[in-house]
Amino acid sequence: MEDKDYLKLIGENISSIRKSKNLSTNEFASRCEMEKSNLIPIEKGRINVTINTLIKIANALNVPLDDLLKF
Amino acid sequence: MEDKDYLKLIGENISSIRKSKNLSTNEFASRCEMEKSNLIPIEKGRINVTINTLIKIANALNVPLDDLLKF
DNA sequence: ATTTTAGGTATGATATATAATACCTTTCAA
DNA sequence: TTGAAAGGTATTATATATCATACCTAAAAT
C-alpha cells in the first residue's frame, strides 16, 4: 500500500469519527487546539501528519490512537 | 501523558524491536531507506515522527504499525 | 596494531507540517 | 433577506522533519 493511501484512510477515519460525534470542523479544531485550515486537509489525506498531531486528534475525539489507524 | 512521553515510548518500541531482530542501525537505516542520523534520534524519542516515517519503519521491521504504538 | 563495525553526534540544506488569518459558498434559522 | 454557521480553500510565516554528509568513540575482529 502506498503512503498516500494510508494518509487517505487515516483522514477518512478521523472524519467519520468526528461526524459520528456530531462535531463541526470548527468545534473539532478548537478542541484540538489546532487550525481548521490544517485539520481539513488532514481529513482529506493531503498531509503527512505527525504523531503529536494524531495524539491531539485522538484526545479531542476521545478515542484511542489505534482507532485513527485502522486500515 | 505528555507528547514527549509518547515519542519516548515509540522510540523505545522501535529500538527494542530492531534489537530483537538483530539489526544494526546501519542495516536498519538502509532497509528504511532513511538516514541513520535521523533514525537514531527517533529511537531516542527526540523527533516528532510523521506517519509516513512510522510506516517505513514498521515495514522495515516487518511488524504491524500498532507494534510501534503500544503505550 | 590496524581495520571494521556499531552506536552516536553535529551541521547545513531542503521540504513540508502547522499557525494565523482571511476569504468563499451554501444552507438554514431569525 | 439577513446573518450565522457549516465546509472548504489560499496564502504567508515559522518551526521542524528529513536528507546528506562528515565526524567521533568504543569494542570487536583480523
B33: left (phi over 0), alpha (psi -120 to 50) or beta: left
Per the domain annotation, does A46 fall within a domain? yes
Per the domain annotation, does B66 fall within a domain? no
Please list every residue in chain A whose beta carbon sits closer than 8 Å to the beta carbon of residue B60: none
User: Does residue B56 approach strand D to less than 7 Å at its CB?
Assistant: no
What's the gap between Cα B27 and its chain centre?
Answer: 13
Q: Calculate the angstrom distance between C1' of C7 and CA of B7.
A: 20
pLDDT per residue over B56-68, tens digit each? 999 999 999 999 9
**How far is the C-alpha of B44 from the C-alpha of B10, rounded, in Å?**
9
Which nucleotides in chain C lie less than 7 Å from some protein C-beta?
Answer: 5-11, 16-22
Q: Which nucleotide is nearest to B46 (CA to C1')?
A: D17
pLDDT per residue over A13-63, tens digit each? 999 999 999 999 999 999 999 999 999 999 999 999 999 999 999 999 999
Sign of CA pseudo-dihedral B55, B61, B67, B71: negative
pLDDT per residue over B6-31, tens digit each? 999 999 999 999 999 999 999 999 99
Per the domain annotation, does A20 fall within a domain? yes
Per the domain annotation, does B32 fall within a domain? yes
CATH of the domain at B54: 1.10.260.40
> Which cell goes with B31?
532497509
Residue (of A22, A10, A63, A15) closest to A40 by Cα position: A15
Q: What total number of domains does chain A contain?
A: 1
Domain that residue A15 falls in: 3-63
**How far is the C-alpha of B42 from the C-alpha of B14, rounded, in Å?**
8
Q: Between chain A and chain B, how many beta carbons pairs sit less than 8 Å apart?
A: 38
Give the CA angle between residues B55, B52, A24 to the nearest 5°: 115
Which nucleotides in chain D lie less than 7 Å from some protein C-beta?
Answer: 5-11, 16-22
The residue-averaged pLDDT of B30-34 equals: 97
